[in-house]
Amino acid sequence: MKIQIDTHTHSTASGHAYSTIDDLARGARRRRLKGFVLTDHGPALPGGTHPYHFSNLRILPDTIGGVLFFRGVEANIINIEGHLDLTPVYLRKLDFVMAGLHEACFKSLDREGNTRLLAAVLANPFVDGLSHPGNPAFPIGIEEVVKAAAQYGKTLEINNSSFRVRPGSEQNCLETARLCRKHGALISCGSDAHYWEDVGNFAKALALLEEAKVPPELVINSSIERFRAFSEKRRAVRSAEEEKMRIL
């Protein structure tokens, strides 16, 4: 399997990442990707991105440095109701909306609480998928979360950086991948690059997907067509939901 789009990258806008968007594009091109999604952190993470960053992404071209550029976010889950740190008006037009748990924004609940929380987040029509659900700092009932992802057509991420920065992720990620195959849940495979050289670095994640025998059909960024189809479908749902909220 090949990954053609990196669905998880951070620029200097995130406050603790070190490359510009042009640099990230250079990294994507160097690894012969077709494109990348810029998923800077939502505003709740200390030093994180201002909400205007996300609405103004529209001024950027669709191709940067010879690769496709997609607009996304790694939003923060900020309370036990599963609310995010960006309002729907900022989320509706993005190409890929991931939500994730970060220790600086949310204190882990017990396994049952985290599982319920992530299931609620997956039910949120503005969320397309979860970033690094295999993080052992937030224990979950993996099968229940996978089932919720399958039910709502959302993605769970196999994050290549987790094997370095979230120790103990391997076993959870392998189990997640195996259960995604069992239940037909979608997967995104992201580098979580905070520096341009890491864009498109999927070495460990790909080996794990192979070990779990995940077919490419379940991995939304295994082809540009798959990613576009997923993204367009999700964007239509988000736009319709936001429209509804305005009318109410």
Residues that bind Zn ion (CB under 5 A): 74, 100, 131, 192
Q: Tell me, what amino acid is at 104? A: A
> What H or E segment, with its residue span, contains residue 243?
helix 224-247
Residue 187: beta bridge partners?
156, 219
Contacts of 107 (CB under 8 A, 6+ apart): none
Q: Which is nearer to Zn ion, 105 or 119 (CB)?
A: 105
Smallest distance, Zn ion to C-beta of residue 231, A: 18
Smallest distance, Zn ion to C-beta of residue 98, A: 8
Q: Which is nearer to Zn ion, 74 or 128 (CB)?
A: 74
Nearest to 139 by CA among 164, 175, 114, 169: 114
Nearest to 151 by CA among 122, 175, 113, 117: 122
**The two three-digit tokens of residue 65, written as one number:** 């440095």
Q: Which is nearer to Zn ion, 35 or 72 (CB)?
A: 72
In the complex, residue closest to Zn ion by CB: 192
Q: Which is nearer to Zn ion, 172 or 242 (CB)?
A: 172
Smallest distance, Zn ion to C-beta of residue 243, A: 29
> What H or E segment, with its residue span, contains residue 204?
helix 203-211
**Does the CA dihedral 182-186-189-194 come out positive or negative?**
negative
Side-chain-side CA neighbours of residue 180 (13 Å): 34
Q: How is 82-104 classified by DSSP, letter by letter?
A: --BSS-HHHHTT-SEEEEE--TT
Smallest distance, Zn ion to C-beta of residue 184, A: 25
Q: Which is nearer to Zn ion, 130 or 186 (CB)?
A: 130
Q: How is 144-199 classified by DSSP, letter by letter?
A: HHHHHHHHHT-EEEEETTHHHHSTTHHHHHHHHHHHHHHHT-EEEEE--BSSGGGT
Smallest distance, Zn ion to C-beta of residue 217, A: 25
Q: Which is nearer to Zn ion, 109 or 137 (CB)?
A: 137
Smallest distance, Zn ion to C-beta of residue 132, A: 6
Smallest distance, Zn ion to C-beta of residue 41, A: 7
Looking only at Cα atoms, what is the longest distance across the chain?
48
Q: Which is nearer to Zn ion, 74 or 95 (CB)?
A: 74
